[in-house]
Structure formats: C-alpha cells, structure tokens
Chain A
C-alpha cells in the first residue's frame, strides 16, 4: 500500500472518529453550565467565521470579491425583508452569478 493511500485512509478514519466522538460525548460531561454554553456557542462562532472566510478569503490572503460581497449583501437584504430560506439562497446566488456574467470580479 502506498504512502498516499495510508494518508487517505488515516484521514478518513480520523475525520469520522472525530464526528462520532462529539456526538457520543456522555451528557454529564456537558452538564456543567459553562460546557453547555460552549457547546451552544461554538457553532455560532464557527459558522460566522465560515461566512467571513468564504466571502473575503482567497487561499491564505484576504481579497474583496465584489460579486461575492454583493451576493452576501443580497442575502442580508432579503433576510431583512423576512424572505424564506430558499429565496435568500436564490437571491444570493443569482446576484453573484449575474455580476460574474457581467464580468465583475
């Protein structure tokens, strides 16, 4: 077995194990209020970080991509209008695609 295959399999097994570990942590470990707060707030922090990095990041640098920013802006605008989830997604993708088609970014 090649070294690359070993790396692939170890990555796959460990990534799955991490998912399972989080899901099977005994409830009493999370009984402490602070642990509970951490578990509740962690997705908020990570998803917000993803929004920022996927919008403004390009590899290891930060770059302003007008089409992406406008797409996210369209999402925010439709959210302010209390649009349903799917409308938000379509508005964001449509705005970004339209600007790409016009040659922006």
Chain B
C-alpha cells in the first residue's frame, strides 16, 4: 500500500498535508473496489459479450451499475434497446453527482472533459468526504477525487480484462471481504455529515428506505437512482408546505427510519414547530423562522 500511494504523494509533494491524506484514502479505496472488475469481466463474457466489448464498457462507460445492466440484458437474450436504455438510466446518477462536484472541484477547460470520465460513486464519496473529515478546501477534494479516479480506473480496467480472459474463477472477491469495502467506505465518508446534520440524517435514512423498498420491484441499480427522491423531497419541502411527498427532516435526534408515509407526518409536525427545518441556506441550521 505504501508503494502504491507514492505516485499521488509525489505529485502532491508541495501540497499541504490534507491533500496527501485525501489522495492516500482515494488510492486505497480505488484499489480495493477496482478488483470487482474481475466479476464484471467474467459476468460480461458469460453473458455473451466479447472481451473487447467488456473492456470498451469499462474504459469508456466506466460505471459499474450500467455495465452490469447491459451485460444482463445481453445474457437474457433480451431487448438490446431496453437494455441500453436501462444502462443509460442507471448512469444518470453520475450526472447528479456532477451537479455537486462542479462547484466543489471547479475544473475548467479541457481538463473537465477528462475529469467527467472519473465521476463514480467512489470518487464522489471521497471528494465530498474530505470537508467532513476536517480537510476543507478545494485542494483536498481535488486530490481525493483524482487519486480515486486514477487508482480505481486502472484497477477496474485491468480487473475487467483479467476477468474477461477467464480469471474470474480465481475466487470470489467476497472471500476477501471486498464486497463490504464499498458500503464501509461510503459509510465512513458520510459519517460526519450524518452525525452533525439532522437533515442529512433524514435524507440518508429515507434514501436507504426507498432503495430497499424498491429493490424487489425494479432491476438492480434503479432503486439507488430512485433514492434521489429523498433529496428532492427535502429540497422542495420548506415551500411545499407539507404537500411534498415523503422524506423530511425528522424532529428527534434518534429519528426512527422514516418510511415515506411516516415522513409526511413528521414533516407536518416539524413545519409547525419549525426549529431547524430544511431552509434555503445550505447547512444553515437555525435559518429563517416560519417558511
């Protein structure tokens, strides 16, 4: 691990300590998560995609959920148009991440074309997590994003190739506990925001609840996109006057998981008392009174 982190550390030799730490976190996460490219490569070839097609997807689409969705459509011998559409729909979450990353990273010009390719769950989580980890500033966010992009891109593509060429039988990444690396990393990077932000906590719980509730009814990947409704609800709620559906800030610090139904009730209650409802100001806790 020390060797692998040497590269970004060298690049950031003059950068302050937070950027180095952000890069180190990103490199480690990318290496661990990238190994799941083995599973994609193997699944893609088993589905009937050629190794070249599997590699093109990993190189250019570079978004796991969409890639698995297209492979599944090919395997089903099913409708390629529907398969492509669902793969693209799943890719929409990266666009939503981009909305947030644009101001956070502030990349301009041609470099933005390259940075766009690097948007994934992991690079977004690392970039956003830096501020919460007490490393504010654009340098740390950029370093975390780019380090995650570089290490995950290289590992994911190498693993895809290896898996497509038949290395998939080497063993499931589950046996090394790598299947839990993603969730654990996302939890770690969200943790400070969940601890400190009441609205964030409610949105996270609602997002998780929506995704779990939707899982039996939709193809894999789509439930996660549907969780964006939780953010939409919280963003619209103050002015919607309780008309907005579902997830809202929950009053209690130890809020029970807000199902969408219960959320509407607590929303009305919060609206009445309105101690620190979701206001216009980002992170503004005690904002405007009333609405």
Q: Which residues of A contact B (CB under 8 A)?
A: 3-16, 18-25, 27, 30, 33-57, 59-62, 67-68, 71-72, 74-76, 79, 85-86, 88-89, 91-98, 100-101
**In the complex, are the beta carbons of A4 and B180 less than 8 A apart?**
no
Q: How far is the CA of A60 from the CA of B281 in the complex (A)?
A: 38
Q: How far is the CA of A11 from the CA of B87 in the complex (A)?
A: 7
**In the complex, are the beta carbons of B188 and A88 less than 8 A apart?**
yes
Q: How far is the CA of A42 from the CA of B81 in the complex (A)?
A: 28
Interface centre among A7, A8, A76 (most CB of B within 10 A): A8
**In the complex, are the beta carbons of A19 and B117 less than 8 A apart?**
yes
Q: Which of A10, A18, A50, A96 contacts B186 (CB 8 A)?
A: A50
Q: How far is the CA of A54 from the CA of B167 in the complex (A)?
A: 23
**In the complex, are the beta carbons of B28 and A86 less than 8 A apart?**
yes
Instruction: Enumerate chain A residues within 8 angstroms of B218, measured Cβ to Cβ.
Output: 60
Q: Is the interface of B mostly helix, strand, loop or mixed?
A: helix
B80 at the A interface (CB under 8 A): yes
Q: Which of A56, A92, A101 contacts B181 (CB 8 A)?
A: A92
Instruction: Enumerate chain B residues within 8 angstroms of A41, measured Cβ to Cβ.
Output: 199-200, 203, 230-231, 234-235
Q: Is the interface of A mostly helix, strand, loop or mixed?
A: helix
**In the complex, are the beta carbons of B232 and A93 less than 8 A apart?**
no
**In the complex, are the beta carbons of B183 and A55 less than 8 A apart?**
yes
Q: A-B contact count, CB below 8 Å?
A: 314
Q: Give chain A nearest CB distance to B290 CB in angstroms.
A: 16
B14 at the A interface (CB under 8 A): no
Of chain B, the residue at the smallest CB distance from A36 is B282
List the 10 shortest-distance A-B pairs measured between CB atoms, nearest first. A22-B98, A45-B207, A97-B177, A33-B280, A92-B184, A49-B227, A96-B177, A71-B180, A49-B211, A48-B204
Instruction: Enumerate chain A residues within 8 angstroms of B266, measured Cβ to Cβ.
Output: none
How many residues of chain B get a CB closer than 8 Å to chain A's CBs? Answer: 107
**In the complex, are the beta carbons of A79 and B60 less than 8 A apart?**
no
Interface residue ranges of B61-116 to A (CB < 8 Å): 61-63, 66-67, 70, 73-74, 80-81, 83-84, 87-88, 91-103, 107, 112-113, 115-116
B164 at the A interface (CB under 8 A): no
Q: Give chain A nearest CB distance to B30 CB in angstroms.
A: 12
Instruction: Enumerate chain B residues within 8 angstroms of A23, measured Cβ to Cβ.
Output: 98, 101-102, 107, 112, 115-116, 119
Q: How far is the CA of A97 from the CA of B191 in the complex (A)?
A: 23
**In the complex, are the beta carbons of B124 and A43 less than 8 A apart?**
yes
Of chain B, the residue at the smallest CB distance from A88 is B188
29 CB contacts below 8 A, A to B, read: A7-B84, A8-B53, A11-B84, A14-B84, A15-B61, A15-B94, A18-B91, A18-B92, A23-B101, A23-B107, A34-B280, A35-B235, A37-B234, A40-B100, A41-B231, A43-B128, A45-B227, A46-B207, A47-B204, A50-B211, A51-B187, A51-B190, A54-B183, A55-B183, A57-B212, A60-B219, A60-B220, A75-B187, A88-B185
**In the complex, are the beta carbons of A18 and B206 less than 8 A apart?**
no
**In the complex, are the beta carbons of B212 and A56 less than 8 A apart?**
yes
Q: How far is the CA of A81 from the CA of B57 in the complex (A)?
A: 40
B133 at the A interface (CB under 8 A): yes
Given A11-B87, A30-B99, A42-B99, answer yes or no on A4-B231 (Cβ-Cβ < 8 Å): no
Q: How far is the CA of A34 from the CA of B84 in the complex (A)?
A: 32
Instruction: Enumerate chain B residues within 8 angstroms of A79, measured Cβ to Cβ.
Output: 187-188, 191
